[in-house]
Amino acid sequence: MAPKAELLPGTLDLLILKAVSLGPLHGYGVLLRIQQISAGALLIEQGALYPALYRLEEQHLLASEWGTSENNRRAKYYRLTRQGEKRLRDETQGWNRLVAAMSAVLGSSPKEA
């Protein structure tokens, strides 16, 4: 099994936005989806999810409503707002630019420098 990576600061919000963009989820569902997409490579403390969800809702990037889970439990479902979609697009582009720049730097060989 590959070693688990600690999250970079600030990336949790982006992961949540991405997870929720695929369809409304309750808190535990967000956690499962992130683990599923990343194939369990990202380590998230479960409780830390909630302050992040509340913060995103406060910023009007997420909206929530109560519903019923697959297991017939009352659960709060989060979905992406229009502002959230825009933020996800912007952040994804920013992230990709960063990754490209970082890989360019890290992938360069001494000769080219």
List residues binding other proteins (CB under 8 A). 26-28, 45-48, 50-51, 54-55, 58, 69, 71, 73-76
Q: Quick one: 66 or 110, whose CB is closer to other proteins?
A: 66
Q: Quick one: 38 or 92, whose CB is closer to other proteins?
A: 38
Indicate if the alpha-carbon torsion angle 38, 43, 49, 51 is positive or negative: negative
We find the least distance from the C-beta atom of residue 83 to other proteins, in angstroms, to be: 14
HSE-CB of 84 using CA atoms within 13 angstroms: 27
Q: How far, in Å, are 38, 47, 55, 68, 100 from residue 52 at the CA level? A: 19, 9, 5, 22, 27
Q: Quick one: 59 or 103, whose CB is closer to other proteins?
A: 59
We find the least distance from the C-beta atom of residue 109 to other proteins, in angstroms, to be: 43
HSE-CB of 108 using CA atoms within 13 angstroms: 9
We find the least distance from the C-beta atom of residue 82 to other proteins, in angstroms, to be: 17
